[in-house]
């Protein structure tokens, strides 16, 4: 029987400093990462396959998205790590834990090049599975952060999550339940992370202060938008990968198709920042933006770390 790494084991095996370092190394080394395979099982159900391989490792993530399922979770995932030389399966890992862990760590890695060193005020938009890991990753890796605001469409959920994170000793508070709460939080924050599946923009560029870093991690289809056109036009944009983001991210696909932003607005993919061939932030007053749709290279690096392969 193949070894199975539960969600608890995956999280325990991936402390933030170790994972961020492994991801930096993985982006520097590169891997073969075919475009995500998306298959419609029905009008609402989907099957996603995310393979990647390098000279030393081989793996694939299998994801199902079934909104009408009676299962407890709409999205379920498994990761299968295989021997690169023989193709033999080596281990199976909880895919959701792997995904939230590597996504948050990749955001923090990108922010190390794009956010100001003195950024102390973080806003996280969204209250789903990814949100608490994003808060934990930023707080663990950026000691300058002294205040975290949490905003969600359902204030009670935001308050409950903020209280849970505060009980861990993190400087988290929910945005007040009032009409201009999000506006005020966006205007006051140095780093803004949106982790939602919104189809209409939530981040309004007119509300951002100079020097803000925007981290868009929720949208992964052309129909999803987390940031408005003003945000995209004002930003120095970096993506996790050109191939994935320019074909799948609505925050880019939509304004590019309409000619609202030029292709040159997307200045780099993350591997180029890691390699030092293209700079990240070039001015303290610059608004920077990282758009990720999820890259199988990240799954492979994290799974390899979990299994010690």
Residue pair 303/93 in contact (Cβ under 8 Å)? The answer is yes
**Can you tell me the distance from the alpha carbon of 205 to that of 208, in angstroms, rounded to the nearest whole number?**
5
Question: Smallest Cα–Cα separation from 300: which of 309, 291, 292?
Answer: 309
Residue pair 175/151 in contact (Cβ under 8 Å)? The answer is yes
Question: Smallest Cα–Cα separation from 136: which of 162, 174, 99?
Answer: 162
Residue 72 pLDDT = 67
Q: What is the mean pLDDT of the chain?
A: 95
Question: Smallest Cα–Cα separation from 238: which of 197, 186, 307, 295?
Answer: 295
| Unique residue bearing structure tokens 């129909």 | 223
Better pLDDT: 175 or 219 = 175
Residue pair 69/46 in contact (Cβ under 8 Å)? The answer is no
**Can you tell me the distance from the alpha carbon of 221 to that of 252, in angstroms, rounded to the nearest whole number?**
10
* Each residue's pLDDT tens digit, 86-110: 999 999 999 999 999 999 999 999 9
Show the tokens assigned to 269: 């993919």
**pLDDT above 90 for 188:** yes
Per residue, the 3-state secondary structure of the chain, as one string, reads CCCEECHHHHHHHCCHHHHHHHHHHHHHHCCECCCCEEEECCCCCEEEEEEEECCCCEEEEEEEECCCCCCCCCEEEEEEEECCCCCCEEEEEEHHHHHHHHHHHHHHHHHHHHCCCCCCEEEEECCCCHHHHHHHHHHHHCCCCCEEEEECCCHHHHHHHHHHHHCCCCCEEECCCCCCHHHHHHHHCCEEEECCCCCCCCECHHHCCCCCEEEECCCCCCCCCCECHHHHHHEEEEECCHHHHHHHCHHHHHHHHCCCCCHHHEEEEHHHHHHCCCCCCCCCCCEEEEECCCCHHHHHHHHHHHHCC
**Can you tell me the distance from the alpha carbon of 149 to that of 261, in angstroms, rounded to the nearest whole number?**
30
**pLDDT above 90 for 295:** yes
| Unique residue bearing structure tokens 């780093």 | 191
* Each residue's pLDDT tens digit, 121-140: 999 999 999 999 999 999 99
**pLDDT above 70 for 173:** yes
Residue pair 216/292 in contact (Cβ under 8 Å)? The answer is yes
66 Cβ partners below 8 Å, 6+ apart? 41, 44, 45, 46, 74, 76
* Each residue's pLDDT tens digit, 56-83: 999 999 998 887 777 667 778 999 999 9
**pLDDT above 70 for 262:** yes
Domains along the sequence of the chain with CATH: 4-98+298-307 (3.30.1780.10), 113-294 (3.40.50.720)
Residue 201 pLDDT = 97
Phi and psi angles of residue 24, each rounded to the nearest 5 degrees, phi first = -60, -45
* Each residue's pLDDT tens digit, 268-287: 999 999 999 999 999 999 99
Residue pair 213/114 in contact (Cβ under 8 Å)? The answer is yes
Residue pair 91/307 in contact (Cβ under 8 Å)? The answer is yes
């Amino acid at each position: 029987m193949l070894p199975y790494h539960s969600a608890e084991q995956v999280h325990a095996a991936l402390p933030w400093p170790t994972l961020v370092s492994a991801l930096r190394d993985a982006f520097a080394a590169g891997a073969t990462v075919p475009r995500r395979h998306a298959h419609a099982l029905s009008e609402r159900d989907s099957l996603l396959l995310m393979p990647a391989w390098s000279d030393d490792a081989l793996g694939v993530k299998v994801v199902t998205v079934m909104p009408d399922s009676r299962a407890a979770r709409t999205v379920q995932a498994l990761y299968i790590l295989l021997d690169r030389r023989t193709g033999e399966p080596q281990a199976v890992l909880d895919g959701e834990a792997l995904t939230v862990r590597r996504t948050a760590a990749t955001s923090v890695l990108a922010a190390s090049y794009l956010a100001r060193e003195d950024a102390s005020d973080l806003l996280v938009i969204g209250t789903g599975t990814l949100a608490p890991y994003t808060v934990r990753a930023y707080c663990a890796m950026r000691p300058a952060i002294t205040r975290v605001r949490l905003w969600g469409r359902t204030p009670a959920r935001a308050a409950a999550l903020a209280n849970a994170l505060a009980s861990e000793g993190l400087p988290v508070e929910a945005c007040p339940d009032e009409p201009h709460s999000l506006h005020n939080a966006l205007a006051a924050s140095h780093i803004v992370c949106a982790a939602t599946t919104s189809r209409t923009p939530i981040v309004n560029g007119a509300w951002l202060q100079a020097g803000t870093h925007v981290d868009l991690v929720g949208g992964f289809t052309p129909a999803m938008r987390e940031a408005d056109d003003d945000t995209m036009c004002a930003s120095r944009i970096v993506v996790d990968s050109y191939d994935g983001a320019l074909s799948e991210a609505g925050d880019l696909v939509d304004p590019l198709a309409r000619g609202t932003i030029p292709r040159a607005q997307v200045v780099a993919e993350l591997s180029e920042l890691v390699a030092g061939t293209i700079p990240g932030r070039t001015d303290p007053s610059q608004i920077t933006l990282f758009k990720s749709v999820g890259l199988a290279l990240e799954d492979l690096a994290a799974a390899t770390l979990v299994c010690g392969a």
